């Protein structure tokens, strides 16, 4: 997989989740808890992100200054995060639960806004790399 495809996949995930967190934080958090409470589903999702991110780094990664270097670093950090979720699911779940709280919808909306900013950056990156 190349960096452009990686950026598209992650941008789409950021858009879908970020929009849900921004528009309906309580309902979105209910869905997040369903995923966090299902270790098999969480593992499948994280193995998918690990495969996508590692293949982008190995096949097309560039550790240089510039946009391709930034996307390579994002892919590498995505791999590390996926590995942490695979190796330490309970600890990562508790961290996630501390950050995304149902009783703090304004905080959840803020995280959704940041995710939409990440979507804009990744979309712009794809346009620039084409």
Each residue of 30-48: pLDDT tens digit?
A: 888 888 888 889 899 999 9
Residue/partner pairs of 115-119 with CB below 8 Å, 24 or more apart: 115/14, 115/15, 115/17, 115/18, 115/21, 115/22, 116/14, 116/15, 116/18, 116/19, 116/22, 118/10, 118/11, 118/14, 118/18, 119/11, 119/14, 119/15, 119/18
Residue 56: pLDDT band (50, 70, 90) is very high
Residue 28: pLDDT band (50, 70, 90) is confident
Residue 121: pLDDT band (50, 70, 90) is very high
Q: What is the mean pLDDT of residues 92-106?
A: 77
């Amino acid at each position: 997989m190349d960096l452009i495809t990686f950026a598209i996949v992650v941008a789409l995930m950021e858009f879908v989740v970020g929009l849900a967190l921004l528009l309906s934080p309580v309902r979105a958090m209910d869905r997040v808890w369903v995923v966090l409470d299902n270790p098999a589903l969480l593992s499948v999702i994280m193995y998918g992100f690990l495969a996508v991110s590692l293949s982008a780094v190995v096949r097309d990664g560039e550790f240089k200054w510039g946009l391709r270097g930034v996307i390579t670093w994002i892919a590498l950090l995505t791999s590390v995060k996926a590995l942490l979720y695979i190796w330490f699911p309970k600890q990562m779940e508790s961290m996630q639960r501390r950050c995304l709280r149902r009783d703090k919808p304004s905080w959840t909306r803020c995280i959704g806004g940041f995710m939409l900013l990440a979507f804009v950056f990744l979309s712009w990156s794809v346009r620039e790399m084409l």
